[in-house]
Structure 1
């Protein structure tokens, strides 16, 4: 499906949303993702587990999501390789891959990296806000990769997954960018220069990511966008900042839209404040997020801002596609 902007505005051939969330339940109905397809998206990565999600739940969620996609093949495709993404585009379907937010589910076992890749995980970051045995989180002590973490990065490169630095500490992200032999991404992170929040990333991190030929996916959560909230103009403000700093080649979209925000899938007994510190004004279950329906608006706003067609195509999806061609497994490079 091609995102149409009208004859006077051109079109975008491929739209890639690097991250969104649905309730982490094995029997979850993924029909909500039809909103992405109707908005012109061709690919979306959905979360299947976070550092606090028990391994058994992560595995059952993946099994349930895979089964749902198989049952609804008329509108959706499990994106195991680049060919699947391109097939979805040409047939008007939405391709879906999975991502992990953190690495606790690896249980300190390198063999788990390949297992998750085999199950459809195509993107992973190593710490979800808090420190773990592999990496430091953005709300942790400021630590970087551990010795095990360095081995995990090498294994991620080897098996063919996209190395993601969102939610990590600055030190972790810089360690990853230095160590990785493949481009790295921030799938859903914004410019800290525009909104000073620990979940956002500073100029040094942006430059380090770009130096790997990676991509920063602009996130649609209001807390990370700052003044202007979830307006399309505010999304473009962050896109423009990163583009001016390192070039539009290194900018994409990871809206982080949360479907069914009112539904809690947190493990029993988990204190949300441990993971989302109140000092940073997280509005759990009530926060505003840029919607999939704004995707055409973002493309149109970029054109109105003076971005040329080539740059718009990259930001809306081509840049993440380029990184996926480089980082996904050999079978995805056809």
Structure 2
């Protein structure tokens, strides 16, 4: 488990908002609960951080120059097939959850599957309960059909918290124009990620990120585009595992060598980069957090 102090790398001037992953496809409900307990205690003990239970909390914490922290889950496996666990997870600060992580499970299909049957009845039940308890449905890592079905099913905004545009770079983890339009129609946001292999041929640069941002803005409008870097603070362990056991990973993850991520320090200069490209201050604020904050205001208050 990464040290939460590393999250301060996302803070330069003033406050910051971060979502920490607390579980994905290998994790049971109990394992996720243990991770949440660990991270919540660590955040509580850190002088620069505070857990955010509401969008108002986010505004207050960041307004005071501190880091507001919530949590996310990648895959529905941590639910242990029990919808009631969503209430508990919401109460502990989980604010986004994606039903599938790359591959099919009981909820639906993933982006790396060769078949795509979309969201299942169980997956639809998960989305409905997430809407009820204030957890935002996230289509990242899901198959195109699953993502579209999520948008049809959800009564609130659906997001792609960390996904890039397939029309810019043809990678199975990236989303289609149809997915982006459906997301925007729910009031959701597409968060362009800083993972090199999703931006281009392992190119975690501001220029590559901006190509995806500007394409998405042209496609769905400024109100539905954001950033979410998907930075892995334990990336050295991940790269070592990928190098030692490449057979465990899809070829789309390995063909460009060790995955490169955009460092937090680079991300913090994105605003200046967009200014140099002629973006307005209002549009920059929207993409750097304003749009995701609007989703939080609408969806977290269930």
User: If the TM-score is normalised by the length of the shorter chain, which range does it land in?
Assistant: over 0.9
- Determine the structure 1 residue equivalent to 2:155: 181
Q: Using the TM superposition, give the Cα deviation of residue 38 of structure 1 relative to its aligned residue in structure 2, in angstroms.
A: 3.0
Q: CA RMSD in A?
A: 2.1
Question: Any conservation in 2 of the 1:131–1:143 contact (CA below 8 Å)?
Answer: no
Question: Any conservation in 2 of the 1:39–1:293 contact (CA below 8 Å)?
Answer: no
- Determine the structure 1 residue equivalent to 2:143: 169
Question: Any conservation in 2 of the 1:30–1:68 contact (CA below 8 Å)?
Answer: yes
Counterpart CA distance in 2 for 1:273 and 1:156 is 35
Please tell me whether residue 201 in structure 1 is matched to residue 175 in structure 2: yes
Q: Using the TM superposition, give the Cα deviation of residue 157 of structure 1 relative to its aligned residue in structure 2, in angstroms.
A: 0.4
Q: Deviations over 1:32-83 (max 9, x none)?
A: 11101236661011111111123332111110000001111x2001111112
Q: How many residues are aligned here?
A: 298
Q: Which ranges of structure 2 fall in alignment gaps of 5 or more residues?
A: none
Please tell me whether residue 85 in structure 1 is matched to residue 61 in structure 2: no
Question: Any conservation in 1 of the 2:192–2:227 contact (CA below 8 Å)?
Answer: yes
- Determine the structure 2 residue equivalent to 1:43: 17
Q: Which ranges of structure 1 fall in alignment gaps of 5 or more residues?
A: 1-24
- Determine the structure 2 residue equivalent to 1:67: 41
Counterpart CA distance in 2 for 1:272 and 1:82 is 41
Question: TM-score normalized by structure 2?
Answer: 0.93
Give the 3-state SS of the residue equivalent to 1:52 in structure 2: coil
* Higher relative contact order (Cα pairs below 8 Å, separated by 6+ residues): 1
Q: Deviations over 1:256-295 (max 9, x none)?
A: 01102123599xxxx8755x312543678x4211121123
Counterpart CA distance in 1 for 2:83 and 2:35 is 21
Matching of residues 109-128 of structure 1 within 5 Å: 109-128=82-101
Give the 3-state SS of the residue equivalent to 2:104 in structure 1: coil
More helix by share: 2
Q: Using the TM superposition, give the Cα deviation of residue 227 of structure 1 relative to its aligned residue in structure 2, in angstroms.
A: 4.8
Matching of residues 22-61 of structure 1 within 5 Å: 25=1, 28-38=2-12, 42-61=16-35
Distance 1:196-1:329 versus aligned 2 partners, 3 A rule: same
